[in-house]
Amino acid sequence: MSRIGKKAVEIPSGVNVTVEGQTVTVKGPKGQLAWTIADEIEVKLENSELTLSPRDESKRAKSMWGLSRTLLANMVHGVTAGFEETLELVGVGYRAAMKGTALSIQLGFSHDVNVEAPAGVTFAVPKQTEIKIAGADKQAVGEIAAKIRRIRPPEPYKGKGVRYAGEKVRRKEGKKK
């Protein structure tokens, strides 16, 4: 039995949720998100709570039960508070700047790397060595943060590169004479 799936998703005031068949649409102050739930899961909207239950006892239904509940809870959280990732640039000459809505990053290459913001995601550069990525969709925010980190991941000898805020980089010892 899924312990996560049993919990109902509470819908705060100011958030509008509609269930049409297997498609759930969530509207809030930060935007609108929609997701189609697997056929094995049944969704009910009752007095500002979303409850999910499996239609049968198959392994897939049990697997999708907790996943579906978590994704719906993330959608509700995303349209109310939103999600944010912070990246740090570590290295001499590594810096970021905004060019319109796009992000321009200097990472030691012969050229600047420009990253366009996908729909629903915004970039902010409070300091030259810090990038804040915000949006209502948790998956989109995490994916664009991972793509930016993948451009120049932290290397183990000096720790230079793009890292998540608070990420610990395992350092290696260099050559000895």
* CATH classification for the domain delimited by 3-80, as one of 3.90.930.12, 1.10.287.610, 3.40.50.12170, 1.20.950.20: 3.90.930.12
- What are the φ and ψ backbone dihedral angles of 175, each rounded to 5 degrees? -65, 150
* pLDDT (tens digit per residue) in 10-34: 999 999 999 998 999 999 999 999 9
Q: How many other CB atoms are found less than 10 A from the CB of residue 156?
A: 13
- Given a contact cutoff of 8 angstroms between Cβ atoms, the answer to whether 166 and 85 are in contact is no
In the chain, where are the structural domains located? 3-80, 83-164
Q: What is the pLDDT of residue 1?
A: 63
Q: What is the pLDDT of residue 139?
A: 95
pTM, whole model, 2 decimals? 0.88
Q: Is the pLDDT of residue 2 over 80?
A: no
User: Confidence band (pLDDT; 50, 70, 90) for 172?
Assistant: very high
Q: What is the pLDDT of residue 5?
A: 86
> Alpha-carbon distance 163 to 131, whole Å?
10
State the CATH class of domain 83-164.
Answer: alpha beta
- With CA atoms as reference, report the closest residue to 46 among 64, 19, 20, 68: 19
User: Confidence band (pLDDT; 50, 70, 90) for 9?
Assistant: very high
Separate counts of helices (H) and strands (E) for the chain: 3, 13
Residue 111: partners with Cβ closer than 8 Å, 6 or more residues away? none
Q: What is the pLDDT of residue 151?
A: 95
pLDDT > 70 in the chain, percent: 99
Identical fold for domains 3-80 and 83-164, yes or no, is yes
